[in-house]
Structure 1
Amino acid sequence: MQVKIGDIVARKSYRLDLLFRVIDVKITATGEQVAILYGDEVRLVADAKCDDLVVVDEKERNSRKQKEKEKVDQSYYLLTQDYQLQREKQEYYATSSYSHNEEFFHIPGRVLHVDGDPHYLQKCLSLYEKIGVPVDGVHVSEKEMPEKITELLDKYRPDILVVTGHDAYSKHKGSIDDLNAYRHSKQFVQTVLNARNKVSHLDQLVIFAGACQSHFESLIRAGANFASSPSRVNIHALDPVYIVAKVSFTPFIERINVWDVLRNTLTREKGLGGVDTKGVLRTGMPYKNHSNQ
């Protein structure tokens, strides 16, 4: 069966472990067909010879999606539990230990999500909306991110910035410490550096950066609060959402323990890490619902 752009495939040499979308098919100088692949659920970019690929039928895709949905639902459940506890705590403080009945309102942190993959961006935006995080989403190719990030920050003025897309580490290109051995880590690092030149303080602009197998240490040194991937493993497409939702819903007077953030993600500490960071949620009062007047 001929592989074509848009097919969902798996690699025989990797025992069909992950599903990929075929983004492009190229002919090498030796006449071989090579497909450029984007992970269907993980933020990994890869290439493979077309004769190593199997087109996955709809039944198998649905079976895998159901298993994936169960993991996503579990992370969502943990996140909403955390948010409910935060709301109850804030209600206690805002009402002076429930001594008065004045209603109050929350202003969660606003997110600018810059993604190299339009497909993943839409999935993330749907989850942000479901959770209730205010967000602006922009599709920008990884190579264009460094030059465009400053104007995007000026335009959207976010509290939280997500810089993600696809990445991969290739052993044959260099050691694990060599940025040149990564598909897009260098662009992510430069994007973070440019963002930090604009907003230097880690608590005035919270940054998540990276994708599958990204160079975690360089991203943190560049100024990211949270990044992937400490163990150079794949991260789930939705992991950045769970990270920044925790930040968005944590009051600005509280400092977030890194593990409290990671435990709600699908990849956890092997794929994600960070530094202690303040939340960005603000609470105000009184709340006036003019639509009922």
Structure 2
Amino acid sequence: MLTLGDLVTRNSYNHDVLFRVKIIEDSYVKLIGENVRLEADAPIDDLKKVPGSEYQDRKTHINKQEACSYRLFRQDYRLLKEKREVEAGGGYAELEEKSNYFQISPRILHIDGDPLFLKKCVQLYEQLGLQVHGQYIEEKNMPLEVVALVQKIQPEIVILTGHDSYSKAKGSTRELESYRNSRYFVESVRNLRQHYPHFDQLVIFAGACQSHFESIIKAGANFASSPARVNIHAIDPVYVAARVAYTSFMDHINIWEVVRNTISGEKGLGGLQTRGLLRIGMPYSEDVEK
């Protein structure tokens, strides 16, 4: 007997993705990815409950992937930090007090259609030392609420994510109607760009698993998912925001440098050349930096 919150896999997909049960309606169940931003429907008889031992094995594998992404980002962060220290010293590598500068990182607004993923992402932002405002909004309501929220929070980076999926039965990959939530991401980005048209004034990431990458980019996003219509991991959008946040406003971001530390990689994420948003100042002031 299935209950809400149960962990399951699908027989018809060879148990490839771990889901949690969100809604049960008669003989059909709405599923949400446990680690990826995928939403799906399935008949009850196609589902298999995941025992605790199998869940622990899957969790161990995911934890290793997340730890690897975090380690790679920290390596990149150290390189960016060394570059900032040289710049703050006027280019003299022998500067005695390399920390004699402060940095102002951009504000991030992370809007998520999954409250559990949102909590996990906010924890990672804090771990990376970034200031973030997290807001849970269902994907269908994002176009209606996003502009007012951005005007209230005044962020420099906006993340619009949640769950999505492509259905072959609804049409080709080119048709926006073939996707569960892509149209809401597109509408949200388009609404924001009507008020914030400059791509370096407001940096936008939008999309989730299998989202219609091309439409989201054309609507005005700097970064989006999913070029190859693959699943993206829950925390991948955080690394996109972090790379922008820790790159100097004087530098352009190489797209590969953005996606290489994500779990999904270039098949899951892509985007446009974008300026960083970090600014440094001198002399060091803890109060200013805070």
TM-score for both structures, normalised by structure 2: 0.96
Counting only pairs closer than 5 Å after superposition, residues 173-192 of structure 1 correspond to structure 2 as 173-192=170-189
Counting only pairs closer than 5 Å after superposition, residues 30-179 of structure 1 correspond to structure 2 as 33-96=27-90, 97=92, 98-99=94-95, 101=97, 103-179=100-176
In structure 2, distance between residues paired with 1:216 and 1:161: 17
Instruction: Report the counterpart of residue 18 of structure 2 in structure 1.
Output: 19
The count of corresponding residues between Structure 1 and Structure 2 is: 284
In structure 1, distance between residues paired with 2:274 and 2:173: 27
Runs of 4+ in structure 1 off by over 3 angstroms are 98-102
In structure 1, distance between residues paired with 2:114 and 2:95: 49
**Residue 4 (structure 1) shift:** 1.2
**Residue 3 (structure 1) shift:** 1.1
Residues 99, 6 of structure 1: alpha-carbon distance in 2 compared, 3 angstrom cutoff: closer
In structure 2, distance between residues paired with 1:138 and 1:203: 23
In structure 2, distance between residues paired with 1:173 and 1:280: 40
**Residue 16 (structure 1) shift:** 1.1
Instruction: Report the counterpart of residue 220 of structure 1 in structure 2.
Output: 217
**Residue 263 (structure 1) shift:** 0.5
Instruction: Report the counterpart of residue 246 of structure 1 in structure 2.
Output: 243
**Residue 288 (structure 1) shift:** 3.2
In structure 2, distance between residues paired with 1:130 and 1:63: 25
In structure 1, distance between residues paired with 2:207 and 2:231: 11
Which amino acid in the other structure matches residue 26 of structure 1? Answer: E
Identity %: 51
**Residue 111 (structure 1) shift:** 0.7
In structure 1, distance between residues paired with 2:278 and 2:151: 21
In structure 1, distance between residues paired with 2:241 and 2:114: 18
**Residue 131 (structure 1) shift:** 0.9
Q: Give 5+ residue unaligned stretches, structure 1.
A: 28-32
Q: Deviations over 1:100-155 (max 9, x none)?
A: 63711111121100000101101111111111111000000001000101111111
In structure 2, distance between residues paired with 1:149 and 1:46: 25
Matched, 1:234 2:231: yes
Which 10-residue stretch deviates more, 281-290 or 269-278?
Answer: 281-290
In structure 2, distance between residues paired with 1:235 and 1:100: 44
In structure 2, distance between residues paired with 1:140 and 1:289: 34
Q: Give 5+ residue unaligned stretches, structure 2.
A: none
In structure 2, distance between residues paired with 1:99 and 1:263: 32
In structure 2, distance between residues paired with 1:135 and 1:59: 35
In structure 2, distance between residues paired with 1:131 and 1:74: 14
Instruction: Report the counterpart of residue 3 of structure 2 in structure 1.
Output: 4
Matched, 1:270 2:264: no
Residues 176, 38 of structure 1: alpha-carbon distance in 2 compared, 3 angstrom cutoff: same
**Residue 54 (structure 1) shift:** 1.0
